[in-house]
């Protein structure tokens, strides 16, 4: 798969203090870029206006990361065969995009997950460590692939394959549901190691709410398990 067929998608919500650097680094790598602003109310919209060579899609209000990804995929399918998704909070190193593209060259039509390294270190929030293990187990129980970082948002998606999946979740749960439904359809899922950067204290931007989103995750897994048992919606 040629790199010219690859577009980068960044879903963003109130990442005004980080998005400038992330966008600049992706542009410097030469990849086309789609940014989906999911209803930001901080300086993010003004920051994005500084970049003339990117495509910006805007939601009038915040409706969730999954919905932002779907908007990005819809726009990307007009011109590209595959998309790399990277978060706007600076957690991912854009320099690792090539690792995902190289993995996709070896494994065409495969979802590639950027498996974050160093997640066991002390400065990584416990919610991230616990959430990853919790999610990995229930993705597998729900009929998904056995992976080690099911919550990583740094991924490469074959767009035609992903567009055929009826993913219902519109927030963070999108990223686990898509793995389960891809596996059920026979779409391969593989992982490749990437770096992770967790800022300290107030420098870190996160819109993940541990208890609320764990409940949402649990509800998503409950529905997927019911589908698996009774073979409905599959």
Q: Would you state the pLDDT for residue 2?
A: 47
Strand partners, 111: 189
pLDDT, tens digit (0-9, with 9 covering 90-100), for 146-201: 999 999 999 999 999 999 999 999 998 999 999 999 999 999 999 999 998 876 55
R_g (Cα) of the chain, nearest Å: 17
Read off the pLDDT of residues 70-95 as tens digits, 9 standing for 90 and up: 999 999 999 999 999 999 999 999 99
Burial class (CB within 10 angstroms; exposed 0-12, middle 13-18, buried 19+) of 26: buried
Cα 90 to the chain's mean position, in Å? 13
Give the CATH architecture of domain 3-230: Alpha-Beta Complex (3.90)
Instruction: Please give the span between the terminal C-alpha atoms of the chain, in angstroms, as a whole number.
Output: 29
Residue 207: pLDDT above 70?
no
d(CA 33, CA 7): 6
Q: Which helix (H) or strand (E) holds 22?
A: helix 19-28
The domain spans of the chain are 3-230
Paired tokens of 190: 């593989």
């Amino acid at each position: 798969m040629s790199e010219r067929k690859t577009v980068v998608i960044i879903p963003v919500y109130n990442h005004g203090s980080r998005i400038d650097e992330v966008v600049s680094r992706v542009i410097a790598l030469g990849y086309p870029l789609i940014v989906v602003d999911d209803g930001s109310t901080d300086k993010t919209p003004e920051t994005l206006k500084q970049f003339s060579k990117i495509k910006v899609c805007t939601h009038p209000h915040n409706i969730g990361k999954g919905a932002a990804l779907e908007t990005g995929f819809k726009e990307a399918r007009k011109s590209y065969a595959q998309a790399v998704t990277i978060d706007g909070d600076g957690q991912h190193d854009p320099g690792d995009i090539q690792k995902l593209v190289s993995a996709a060259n070896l494994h065409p039509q495969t979802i590639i997950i950027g498996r974050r390294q160093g997640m066991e270190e002390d400065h990584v929030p416990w919610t991230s460590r616990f959430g990853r293990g919790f999610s990995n187990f229930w993705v597998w129980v729900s009929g998904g692939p056995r992976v080690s970082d099911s919550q990583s948002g740094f991924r490469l998606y074959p767009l035609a394959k992903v567009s055929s999946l009826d993913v219902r979740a519109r927030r963070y749960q999108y990223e686990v549901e898509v793995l389960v439904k891809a596996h059920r359809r026979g779409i391969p899922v593989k992982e490749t190691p990437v770096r992770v950067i967790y800022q300290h204290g107030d420098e870190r931007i996160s819109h993940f709410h541990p208890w609320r989103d764990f409940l949402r995750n649990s509800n998503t897994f409950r529905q997927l398990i019911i589908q698996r048992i009774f073979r409905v919606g599959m």
